[in-house]
Amino acid sequence: MAIKIGILGYGNLAKGVEAAINQNADMELVAVFSRRDPSTVTIKTPNVPVVSVDDIKDYVGKVDVMVLCGGSATDLPKQTAEYVKLFNVIDSFDTHAKIPEHYAKVNEEALKNNKVALISCGWDPGMFSLTRLYANCILPEGNDYTFWGKGVSQGHSDAIRRVPGVKNGKQYTCPVDAALDAVRSGSNPELTTRQKHTRVCYVVAEEGADKDQITKTIVEMPNYFSDYDTTVNFISEEEFMANHQGMAHGGFVFRTGKTGWNKENNHVIEYSLKLDSNPEFTASVLLAYSRAIYRLADKKDFGCKTVFDIAPALLSPLSGDELRAHLL
């Protein structure tokens, strides 16, 4: 019997979840729930309804796991604790500093309602966090390094677009190769913010705008750009539309550490992702963890979980025997 998946929202992440369901034979999409008028939302999966979020209660008992595809800024801080009253839920809440608060709220409601929730799933937080945890446990004495990119930072792109004279803009965060190499060498370098990442901006200026002023405003912007080496490239609207709509992203997690009676041996653990589509990859992680949620709910192991709490075998459609024979 297939695991019945519901999707709340229908942005890029939700579309990624919809596509990923096709790649998991043990899952089926029950419905997409939207705050918009359902008649205005067309999904790709044939014969699956779009339902107003106002009617979501009608699906209690018909959805095994509800995948919450809202944003971390305003949607998820409300939605996850709210919908876990009705469904087992999973989200990709990625405001690292607010995870403990989010966890506490969601855990309380999950336990009260005999549901399973899994928060902050994806790749960072998510697979990167797992790499950090495993590597820290193996090498208790060492250093952690995380690099992001090359990929678009939404917050920095928004900041560019607020600069007077800017019609459109995208900002790419790029890891610095020399810093990656220094970390890989095992030399445990201390790296400043500026040494780790550069910021590359593509800007469409309004006609007659002062480009030098735009550049100066961007590169000197505190918090966002002033601590980085920032490059501003002015391009045409056509080039912007043709070359800067992609959603590629990725990054690197390292832990370097020492072992031995006299700490004489160095080790380098490196994990990296190179993703053509950030939302589709995140969606694929969410679906793998939805399988685990389904199984935990089946065992009545209720409450709020994170990727740290989930035994890896629970993610796989294969049996323990198959995993030991083929993947161990």
Round to whole Å and give the CA distance between 98 and 255.
24
CA 111, CA 114: separation in Å to the nearest integer? Answer: 5
Smallest gap, in angstroms, from Cβ of residue 285 to a second copy?
5
CB of 250 to a second copy, least distance (A): 8
Applying CB under 8 A, the span of 109-117, 121-129, 171-179, 230-238 interacting with a second copy comes to: 121-129
Closer to a second copy at the Cβ: 132 or 156?
132
Question: Which member of 46, 61, 208, 320 binds a second copy (CB under 8 A)?
Answer: 320
Cα 215 from Cα 57, distance rounded (Å)? 51
Is residue 118 at the binding interface for a second copy, with CB under 8 A as the rule? Answer: no
For the bound state, the minimum distance from the C-beta of residue 158 to a second copy, rounded and expressed in Å, comes to: 24
Beta strands in the chain (DSSP E): 3-8, 27-34, 50-52, 65-68, 88-90, 116-118, 142-148, 151-152, 166-175, 197-205, 229-234, 249-259, 265-275, 303-305
Q: Among residues 139 and 203, whose Cβ is nearest to a second copy? A: 139
CB of 46 to a second copy, least distance (A): 12
Q: Any contact of residue 95 with a second copy (CB under 8 A)?
A: no
Contact 41, 8 (CB under 8 A): no
Binding-site size for a second copy (CB under 8 A) equals 71
Q: In the bound complex, what is the minimum distance in angstroms from residue 76's beta carbon to a second copy?
A: 15
User: Is residue 321 involved in binding a second copy (CB under 8 A)?
Assistant: yes
Calculate Rg over the CA atoms of the chain.
22
Site for a second copy in 141-160 (CB under 8 A): 141
Q: Considering only residues 54-83, where is the footprint of a second copy by CB under 8 A?
A: none
Alpha-carbon distance of 195 to 63, in angstroms, equals: 47
Tell how far CA 239 is from the center of its chain: 28
Q: Which of residues 282-301 bind a second copy (CB under 8 A)?
A: 283-285, 288, 291
Give the Å distances, CA to CA, from 207 to 71, 235, 236: 33, 12, 11
Show the binding pattern over residues 187-226: x = contacts a second copy (CB under 8 A), - = does not: ----------------------------------------
Pairing of strands 116-118, 88-90: parallel
Work out whether 180 is an interface residue with a second copy (CB under 8 A): no
Is the CB of 58 or the CB of 308 nearer to a second copy? 308
Q: Which of residues 229-288 bind a second copy (CB under 8 A)?
A: 259-261, 264-277, 280-281, 283-285, 288
Least CB distance from residue 165 to a second copy, whole Å? 34
Applying CB under 8 A, the span of 3-11, 71-79, 208-216, 317-325 interacting with a second copy comes to: 317-325
Q: Dump the DSSP string for 154-181.
A: HHHHHHHHTSTTEEEEEEEEEE-HHHHH
The phi, psi pair for 42, rounded to 5°, reads -110, 120
Shortest Cβ 68–a second copy spacing (Å): 17
SS3 of residue 250 by DSSP: strand
What is the x/- site pattern for a second copy, positions 13-42, by CB under 8 A?
A: --xx-xxx-xxx------------------
323 belongs to the binding site for a second copy (CB under 8 A): yes
Taking alpha carbons only, the member of 11, 16, 317, 275 closest to residue 128 is 275
How far the first Cα of the chain sits from its last, in Å, is: 27
Minimum separation from the CB atom of position 97 to a second copy (A): 9
